Amino acid sequence: MSWISDKPIPVNERLIVALDVPNIASAKALVTTLGDSVVFYKIGLELFMSGNYFELIDWLNEQNKRIFVDLKFFDVPATVGRAVKQLSDKKVDFVTIHGNNAIMQAAAEQKGSLKVLAVTVLTSLDRGDLDDLGFDCDVEKLVTSRAKRAIELGCDGVISSGLEAPGLRDSLGQNFLVVSPGIRPVDNRPEDDQKRVVSVEQAFYNGADHIVVGRPIRDAKDPRQAAIDIQKSISSVFEN
């Protein structure tokens, strides 16, 4: 069964490029290289620790880009709520949170126009990793359970592998965002840290609204062409 998203999202905004680079200069250089081939960017912990994180947010806004702040807030619920409220004053589209019901609810209550995305199970984890963490259930059940609670508590969507997206759509419907990292246009390389991966097309057939792509674009011989090729793959899904 196909779960292709029917949300009114411009096709070229369904690709989110992860700016997993060491500093602001590298981030700006990559964005400039990609030009109009990419509209939406994710900025995470590595850039946060490099300094000038909010300068980069302001610069991306000046370039008319959409912004996904991926800091996976996980702290005392009141602290997470205040952090989300601070971020809601910035021109940012998405923010990620982690944690229990109280944390998710606190974030949802303070989000303003931000869309809060709850992390389900990181795509770098597999069944063996969950055993190590003490989770005595399969990955799909854990993802669905966490997503169900997040949506009930007011979050706008979840971060989920494309492998679990069909189960989420089947159980919970279409009224929330599914953002899928772990996208690999080609087979994984041995040094890759992503384990639960899908292709661009399969992620959308499985129910993703957006995909997050990092190294297949960043490390490509021609990053702009790699982004254009992925955009063409996305267009082929939504134009059929």
Catalytic residues: 72
Tokens 């679990």, residue located: 164
Tokens 């991306």, residue located: 60
Work out whether the CA dihedral 99, 102, 105, 107 comes out positive or negative: negative
3-state per-residue secondary structure call for the chain = CCCCCCCCCCHHHCEEEECCCCCHHHHHHHHHHHHHHCCEEEECHHHHHHCCHHHHHHHHHHCCCEEEEEEEECCCHHHHHHHHHHHHCCCCCEEEECCCHHHHHHHHHCCCCCEEEEECCCCCCCHHHHHHHCCCCCHHHHHHHHHHHHHHCCCCEEECCCCCHHHHHHHHCCCCEEEECCECCCCCCCCCCCCCCECHHHHHHCCCCEEEECHHHHCCCCHHHHHHHHHHHHHHHHHC
From the list 35, 37, 20, 8, the residue with the least C-alpha distance to 233 is 37
Burial class (CB in 10 A: 0-12, 13-18, 19+), 133: exposed
